[in-house]
């Protein structure tokens, strides 16, 4: 659940930023936005200074040959001297990682076609939900709908709160319901909300963008935007990080995660830069644009993403092999190679790694 924890921290950061924007908006003389921008340096400074006091991890120490220091650090982290078994596992994992060569060349092989496709598609689709349009430009969007400055900032705070609480829902339900169900349910919810919001805005403003919006009407729009944010926050938000971490085996993990993060950041940048010009040109049609992408990504999940709940990474090759489409890229010998990487030993007292028992 560490990957969902990562997404949770992002949502908390967004909420804090919205609260700061709301508070500093009351500062007179045009200093509000300056103070808000300057305050972003505070967490950056804390991270920079804190990094000076961070100790090395046991994994890093083992990789650099400092085995005694690694064992001492492991005892310190666990609060016990009984760390021999975990220490042995870390040493074995370090030795295995050194055997991995050319991860970028590996990921281009046909047997890793499913992982490569997911490394590109999942982060791209995550951004094409349009969530960052709401998160980045919520005050601008709400002000466009006719909210006053304070009201637009408060609406952004409300969506931030919904984002945080819905992410907690994902943490609680992801292992009960599975990844696919959350993806599909979240996609359907986001699509419905985007259609309603686009329809309401289009009916009131049209393409002129000039109209008075009643408070009750505006409240309904905010309600559906919050429902849209909730649908994202318990599906594509956390699962966009969780699922990729569950499908990359050791031999392509570094390349796969690098592609995943790079595509995510690239799409975030492109959409952030393109949103305001698109909003001015397309008006309410923009919601239907992102809604169309939600249809595409939901169909993609339904057809091409198998369930990864409770499936060890080393056994994912069996899941891909049985898939109606991805199975054509995976040979029988590829399945055997994947199965030999790590499986329970016959006597139940250890694990087989690459044909050896790690006790």
Give pLDDT tens digits along the chain (359 positions): 667 888 899 999 989 998 998 899 888 888 888 999 999 999 999 999 999 998 888 888 998 899 999 999 999 988 999 989 989 988 888 887 777 778 899 999 999 999 999 999 999 999 999 998 777 777 777 777 667 777 778 888 889 999 999 999 999 999 999 999 999 999 999 999 999 998 988 888 777 766 677 778 888 888 999 999 999 999 999 999 999 999 998 889 889 999 999 999 999 999 989 988 988 888 889 999 999 999 999 999 999 999 999 898 878 999 999 999 999 999 888 886 554 444 333 333 434 343 333 32
The token pair at 144 is 């466009």
Residue count of the chain? 359
159 alpha carbon, distance to own chain's centre: 18
Q: Tokens 């998160």 map to which residue?
A: 135
Tell whether pTM > 0.85.
no
Residue pair 243/122 in contact by the 8 Å Cβ criterion = yes
What does the DSSP 8-state code read for residue 323? S
Instruction: Give the three-state DSSP class for 129.
Output: coil
Q: How far is the CA of 44 from the CAs of 48, 51, 53, 266, 268, in angstroms? A: 6, 11, 15, 22, 20
The sign one gets for the Cα dihedral 140, 146, 152, 155 is negative
Q: Tokens 């400055």 map to which residue?
A: 149
Instruction: Give the three-state DSSP class for 343.
Output: strand
Percent of residues in the chain assigned helix, strand, coil, to nearest 5: 75, 5, 20
């Amino acid at each position: 659940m560490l990957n969902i924890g990562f997404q949770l921290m992002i949502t908390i950061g967004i909420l804090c930023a919205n609260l700061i924007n709301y508070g500093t908006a009351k500062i007179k003389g045009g200093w509000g936005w300056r103070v808000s921008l300057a305050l972003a340096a505070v967490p950056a400074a804390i991270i920079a200074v804190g990094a000076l006091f961070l100790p090395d991890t046991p994994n890093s120490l083992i990789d650099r040959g400092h085995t005694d220091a690694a064992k001492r650090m492991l005892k310190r982290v666990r609060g016990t001297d009984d760390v021999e078994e975990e220490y042995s596992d870390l040493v074995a994992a370090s030795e295995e990682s050194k055997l991995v060569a050319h991860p970028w060349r590996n990921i281009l092989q046909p047997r890793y076609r499913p992982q490569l496709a997911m490394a590109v598609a999942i982060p791209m689709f995550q951004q094409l939900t349009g969530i960052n349009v709401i998160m980045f430009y919520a005050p601008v969007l709400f002000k466009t709908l006719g909210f006053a400055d304070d009201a637009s900032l408060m609406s952004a705070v409300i969506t931030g709160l919904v984002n945080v609480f819905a992410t907690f829902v994902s943490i609680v339900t992801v292992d009960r319901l599975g990844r696919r169900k959350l993806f599909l349910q979240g996609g359907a919810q986001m699509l419905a909300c985007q259609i309603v919001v686009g329809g309401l805005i289009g009916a009131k403003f049209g393409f002129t963008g000039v109209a008075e919006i009643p408070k009750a009407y505006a409240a309904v729009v905010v309600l559906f935007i919050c429902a849209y944010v909730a649908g994202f926050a318990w599906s594509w938000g956390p699962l966009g990080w969780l699922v990729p971490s569950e499908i990359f085996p050791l031999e392509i993990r570094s390349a796969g995660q690098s592609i995943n993060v790079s595509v995510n950041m690239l799409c975030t940048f492109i959409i952030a830069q393109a949103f305001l010009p698109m909003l001015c040109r397309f008006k309410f049609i923009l919601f239907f644009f992102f809604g169309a992408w939600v249809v595409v990504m939901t169909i993609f999940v339904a057809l091409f993403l198998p369930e990864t709940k409770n499936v060890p990474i080393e056994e994912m090759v069996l899941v891909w092999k049985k898939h109606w489409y991805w199975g054509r890229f995976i040979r029988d010998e590829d399945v055997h190679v994947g199965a030999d990487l790590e499986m329970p030993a016959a006597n139940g007292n250890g694990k087989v790694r690459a044909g050896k028992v790690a006790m």
